[in-house]
Amino acid sequence: MFFEEHDLDFEKHLIVRREISKEGKSRCFINDTPVQLSVLRSLTVLLIQIHSQYNTLELKSKSYQLELIDILAGLEKERTAFSADFKELSNLNRLLAKKQDELSNILQAQDYNLFVLSELKSLRLDAIDYSFIESELSRMENSENLKAVFSQLISLTDENGIFEQLQTIKGSIDKNTHLDSNLNAIKSRLDVVLLELKDLSNDSLRHLDN
């Protein structure tokens, strides 16, 4: 290493100094240790690279400062190995973050699927009467036809309907039962028909309201 070659102590902070007296004499120091000008120049070659006429100093770069320190300490191989290890570690960290995101997405999907499964179980789909549902669906799809049928049944008891006509016939039978005993049996049967017609009309009205 540079410091060992020139019998200098290596310190964390490097101070380079050159003093010129009034008489024009020059004295050079590295970390307050007197050195020859040639030694100082050798060190500055390692520290400073001059680019073009503007004398750009790479020492302003922190990464370059660290690189120079590694070179001065003779740690080039260690630095190269560390850089490779650090790059691999960075890649592994990115891969780990990616896998963690994938795992998080999987767990979220699992939670959602479990929630959906729980909701489906609570519906007790196995206990649903699908034939009844199909029947109700068919009834709703044909509601207009059903309304027409029930309306026709209700009209049986409307004014001038069959019910009123049968009532008129029944009145005539009542007046003439004394003339023929068979009319009593017909009257009884007619009463049953009138009762059925009335029930049919009332039931049809309820269905129509529903």
Three-state SS across the chain?
Answer: CHHHHCCCCCCCCCCEEEEECCCCCEEEEECCEEECHHHHHHHHHHHCCCCCCCCCCHHHCHHHHHHHHHHHCCCHHHHHHHHHHHHHHHHHHHHHHHHHHHHHHHHHHHHHHHHHHHHHHHHCHHHCCHHHHHHHHHHHHCHHHHHHHHHHHHHHHCCCCHHHHHHHHHHHHHHHCCCCCHHHHHHHHHHHHHHHHHHHHHHHHHHHHC
pTM for this structure?
0.36
Domain, as residue range, for 118: 76-128
Same domain (yes/no): 44, 90? no
Same domain (yes/no): 70, 83? no
pLDDT tens by residue, 149-202:
888 888 877 777 788 888 888 899 888 888 888 889 998 998 899 898 888 888
Task: Indicate whether 188 belongs to any domain.
Answer: yes
Same domain (yes/no): 64, 25? yes
Mean pLDDT of 199-207: 85
pLDDT tens by residue, 51-90:
433 345 555 667 767 776 777 677 778 888 888 999 999 9
Same domain (yes/no): 12, 24? yes
Same domain (yes/no): 115, 170? no
Q: Is the pLDDT of residue 27 over 60?
A: yes
Phi and psi at residue 27, in whole multiples of 5°?
A: -130, 135
Same domain (yes/no): 6, 70? yes
What is the per-residue pLDDT for 57? Answer: 52
Q: How many separate domains does the chain show?
A: 3
What is the per-residue pLDDT for 52? Answer: 35
Same domain (yes/no): 118, 175? no
Q: What is the percent of the chain with per-residue pLDDT over 90, rounded to a whole number? A: 18
Task: Indicate whether 203 belongs to any domain.
Answer: yes
Same domain (yes/no): 118, 93? yes
Q: Is the pLDDT of residue 111 over 60?
A: yes
Same domain (yes/no): 198, 155? yes
Same domain (yes/no): 22, 69? yes
What is the per-residue pLDDT for 92? Answer: 95
Task: Indicate whether 135 belongs to any domain.
Answer: no
Same domain (yes/no): 6, 69? yes
